[in-house]
Structure 1
Amino acid sequence: MASISISHSRKRAPPRPAVSERALRNTGYNKPWPGWPAGKDSSVNRISLLTWHELPTWQQDNEFILTGYRTASGSFSQSMRSLRHIHNETVNIYSHLFGGILFTILPFYVYSTVYPRYSNVQLADIVVFSTFFFGVAVCFFLSASFHTVANHSETVAALGNQLDYMGVVVLMWGSTIPSVYYGFYCDLELQKLYWSVVSVLAIACIATTLNPKFRHPRLRPYRAAMYSGLGLSAIVFIIHGLLLHGWELQNRRMSLSWMGLMGALNLIGAAAYAARVGF
């Protein structure tokens, strides 16, 4: 009887593996971390990638991205370690991280070349350009941070998502400051007026962004519309400047041709984001 029992136990099918173990076998990321002590829990020193259908509800944001998801880490260090592997957030993280580093370093190069080249550069020029560089760097770094820790937990992902959108608002606000400064170079009162208007709109956008209800995927078109509205508010002071000074002077002051191209690209990006157009 003992031999029969053993024979049957050998033929018995193995138990179905857990989702994380099944995902581990389907990826190339099941090796221990370099330098990780032997004998440690494999769930800590491995990275597993899941499909859309294996995710908890709070991680299901874009149903058109079907694979490459990291498991919920519950640990900031674990999420940071995933930077050493390829997953569906890798491009998001590194493209924004490199952008943030670039726009942190770039001002030092610009200032070192502008001061010797132009004798009429004033402190105000440095301040408004610094505001622009600051806005871009903050946007990139907040976005890189969010995409890095998005798999931490539902609470951290929600907060990171809000900070990601807040970074977009800071970028739009920072890019408007120098435009108003040069567009109304000789009119301090109009500068103050439009700076105040744009700042109030930006604060309103940030307040809305930090509302937890705003994060719901169904509100994606409204998020795009809100940010587009903040960006399009620039049309008001652009038209005002054109009425006061004409195209030739304002185009020289504000590079309106480039601003038009930037606005068009922003609208295309917002539309693609809202409609989830793939490229």
Structure 2
Amino acid sequence: MTSEQKQQIYSLLKTASDSILGYKSKSFDENAPFFKDDEKIQLQEKQQPQQKIQPQENTKSSNQILPQSMQNVIEKIAQCSRCPLAKTRHNTVPGTGVSSPFVLVIGEGPGFEEDMQGLPFVGPAGQLLDKMLAAINLSRISNVYIANIVKCRPPQNRNPYPEEADACSSFLQAQIALLKPKAILCVGTVAAKNLLKTEFGVTKLRGQFFEYQNIPVCVTYHPSALLRDISLKRLAWEDLKFFKTKLLELNPGYESQYIPYVKQ
């Protein structure tokens, strides 16, 4: 018998004695014994020491997102406060497009209009992007999904800092795992550097294919760069034609699935 069990019995006897006598007996308190565990129990405890429960190691990074569903990813993005961009945003901008896209377009980050509406590429650069995609029979309502490296607008539309891009990277990784695009088009240096983990910019990367998790990746100029320097449009058109050759190789009939996007 354990000392605790013996103490409980002693307390019950004391309570019963007080009840019978009609007053509290001091003898129980003055002569209270010191209880010990029985020798047999002490021996068993020595033979079977208590096992300490070790906390289970978390093998997943705190920034990692399990790709359960796109809605799950969108909800996590909406609740994200991993970097300072969360403090200045109006809306998170997870992405837009079809759920099983042929092509994933990756940009840099939301601008003013995107931050206001919660949708990517809806300002002037977005309108130009839609025209660029339409030129090779792609659209956000038929065979494309559009996302960004960061899901919150950097102040004054500056480039996202490396730590901001890193904080957001798991969201894009989860989206790619869910969308399973057949090809990726990176628009702009920021998108290319972060996805491909390279120090080179568009000028060095355009005109060739790379791979991201066995998905072919093509790099071209960001539409905003084309708006600033119209001389780059010819080079961007060459990039799009080059990209289309890969799309036709992957799926010769992809153009038949094209539905023009008309902004409402």
Instruction: Work out whether the TM-score is over 0.5.
Output: no
Instruction: Indicate the structure with greater strand content.
Output: 2
Instruction: Indicate the structure with greater helix content.
Output: 1
TM-score band, normalised by shorter chain: under 0.3
* Structure index of larger Rg: 2
Task: Give TM-score scaled by structure 2 length.
Answer: 0.24
- RCO higher in 1 or 2 (8 Å CA, sep ≥ 6)? 2
